[in-house]
């Protein structure tokens, strides 16, 4: 899988609504802990960043920083289904992931 496809595959679940994210996690068989979403993004970020487009790279860094902050010790509650549904961090993540996804797809279309 190329960098763009890897990034799209990691951003799509982050941009979903909370119910769809929980269904995605259930389909993966990882339960209701949302940290799998962060792990997938982390792998894609390490592989694909930087993408060479300033707005996209800024959005990817913002996502990486927020998810990293949420992963700090003592913040397990941020990965719960309740936090996924109602947490301000997850609102930011979904909004930023949707923007990054839009920019990634546009960049991919421009390269074709």
Q: What is the pLDDT of residues 11-53, one digit of tens each?
A: 999 999 999 999 999 999 998 889 999 999 999 999 998 999 9
Q: Are residues 95 and 12 in contact, defined by beta-carbon separation less than 8 angstroms?
A: no
CA 13 to centroid of chain Cα atoms: 7
Q: Are residues 7 and 46 in contact, defined by beta-carbon separation less than 8 angstroms?
A: no
> Domain span at residue 83?
3-111
Question: Could you give the number of structural domains in the chain?
Answer: 1
CA triple 58-64-41, angle to 5 deg: 115
C-alpha distances (whole Å) from 20 to each of 55, 94, 98 are: 26, 12, 14
Cα 32 to Cα 46: distance, rounded to the nearest angstrom: 25
Going by pLDDT thresholds of 50, 70 and 90, the confidence category of residue 112 is low
Q: Which residue has the higher pLDDT, 87 or 112?
A: 87
Percent with pLDDT over 70 in the chain: 97
Mean pLDDT for 100-111 is 87
Instruction: Please tell me the predicted confidence (pLDDT) of residue 40.
Output: 96
What pTM was computed for the model?
A: 0.93
Average pLDDT value for the chain:
94
CA 86 to centroid of chain Cα atoms: 17
Q: Any idea what DSSP says for residue 16?
A: S
């Amino acid at each position: 899988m190329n960098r763009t496809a890897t990034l799209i595959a990691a951003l799509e679940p982050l941009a979903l609504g909370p119910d769809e994210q929980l269904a995605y996690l259930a389909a993966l068989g990882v339960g209701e802990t949302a940290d799998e979403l962060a792990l997938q993004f982390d792998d894609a970020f390490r592989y694909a960043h930087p993408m060479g487009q300033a707005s996209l790279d800024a959005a990817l860094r913002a996502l990486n920083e927020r998810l990293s902050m949420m992963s700090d010790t003592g913040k397990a509650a941020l990965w719960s289904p309740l936090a996924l549904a109602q947490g301000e961090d997850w609102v930011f993540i979904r909004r930023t992931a949707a923007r990054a996804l839009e920019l990634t797809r546009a960049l991919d279309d421009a390269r074709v």
